[in-house]
Amino acid sequence: MVKVLRSFVRGPLESYAEGFVEELFRQGYSRPGAEQHLCFIAHLDRWLNGKGLALGDLSATVIERYLAQRREAGYVEYRSSKALQPLLDYFRSLGLLPAAEPVVLGPVEALLGRYREYLLIERGLTVGTARGYVDCVRPFIQTRLQGDVLDLAGLSAGDVTGFVLAACPGRAVGSAKLIVCSLRSLLGWLHLTGVTPTSSAASVPSVAGWSLSGLPKGLDPGQLRKLLAACDRRTPAGRRDYAILLLLARLGLRAGEVARLELGDIDWRRGEFAVRGKGNRIERLPLPADVGAAITAYLRRGRPGTAQGRSVFVRVHAPHRALTTGGVTAVVFNVGQRAGLGKIHAHRLRHTAATAMLRSGSSLAEVGQVLRHRSLLSTAIYAKVDRDALATLARPWPVAADGGAS
């Protein structure tokens, strides 16, 4: 039996408890955080000992059995496999876990796996985009499952339109368009690979939606100042959030582009940085002085020394892994709530950057270059927010000779 921190470990995990705690400290966990993890591990250790199991028996099935019994016992914390992840990662690094059990894919997932490979390799889509396509078409493929067999050869145009009419109502226009776009891609691939004798892509109906019909909703200068002021730059989290908000609001970066920013992407001597944008494109943008100062303040007095990898922005809490796209979005949302501005998403700050550039006298073409639009049509929507320029195009209201409106 060994006592580590405040927990006793006496079963099959006894000889690994001290090393596990050292690994937690190396990853940046605080002492209370490490104590919580070890208390949980001590409970798992007692369960394994009571079942007569060794560390080599800790398979996915055994882990699920343990977690199910823990939930049934009424525990409210550490009830999912995610709670075990730090320990499992540690054991994997030592090569102590049993080989992963083979995953047997059903016909639906097997076909979608081949389709995903096509999107990644042949089409060159990013992992996230390919995942979105697959998620959109999975319900359609599931409708073709008859027992253990997929009936795709007998696919008709009516089946395709029926699915779209059932799946799209009630959705936002963008979400519905993604469904039909993904479905056309899938049907083309099915014909290309010989699964279906003909392509049904042409039978996918279009979604009613008009380009440039909306109005970009950026923050006005007062709201932006209020948002930035809600970041407490005396704290590491506040310095990180302030730098993220400036990248979004001053340069119009997307949330994913901020998340993918790495230390080596910033050229401090030239005052520019590389942006990893859509389609795996890498483009360079100038680094304004205020944005560079905010990033520097975070790197010097905010980014933890236990940060993993080369990402500029990392999680506040251990393990200090790279901040994800969802994490960047959450930063904007949480700061907006603290500032009393309601629900604000990261893309709204991209609109804020575009409208600010227009108000300062930049042309639409220049705005499109900063936002890295492939087509000027993508930037044209911002012409609506330049009211002063639009006023010069407005014709006077016609007035009758007697002074009344005609």
Contact 70, 61 (CB under 8 A): no
373 tagged catalytic: yes
Type of residue at 45: D
Contact 283, 269 (CB under 8 A): no
Give the side-chain half-sphere CA count within 13 A for 365. 0
Residues 6+ apart with CB under 8 A from 322: 259, 308, 309, 311, 313, 314, 315
- Please identify which of the residues 51, 138, 321, 373 carries the catalytic annotation: 373
In the beta sheet, which residues pair with residue 149? Answer: 146
**Which residue's structure tokens are 């494109």?**
281
345 tagged catalytic: no
- Please identify which of the residues 239, 315, 350, 351 carries the catalytic annotation: 350
In the beta sheet, which residues pair with residue 282? Answer: 276
DSSP secondary structure letter of residue 218: P
347 tagged catalytic: yes
Contact 272, 287 (CB under 8 A): yes
The count of other CB atoms within 10 Å of the CB of residue 305 is: 6
- Please identify which of the residues 278, 301, 310, 317 carries the catalytic annotation: 278
Comparing CA positions, the residue from 200, 158, 198, 165 lying closest to residue 183 is 200
Contact 243, 232 (CB under 8 A): no
Comparing CA positions, the residue from 352, 357, 386, 361 lying closest to residue 370 is 357
- Long-range contacts (CB closer than 8 Å, 24 or more residues apart) made by 157-162: 157/200, 157/203, 160/187, 160/200, 160/203, 160/204, 161/203, 161/204, 161/205
Comparing CA positions, the residue from 46, 89, 87, 95 lying closest to residue 66 is 46
Q: Listing from the earlier edge strand, what are the strands of the sheet with 272-276?
A: 266-267, 272-276, 282-286
Comparing CA positions, the residue from 128, 397, 89 lying closest to residue 280 is 128
Ramachandran category for residue 345: left, alpha or beta (phi over 0 → left; psi -120 to 50 → alpha) = beta
- Please identify which of the residues 51, 347, 359, 372 carries the catalytic annotation: 347
CA distance 90 to 96: 9
260 tagged catalytic: no
- Please identify which of the residues 233, 254, 303, 315 carries the catalytic annotation: 254
- Give the catalytic positions in this structure: 254, 278, 347, 350, 373, 382
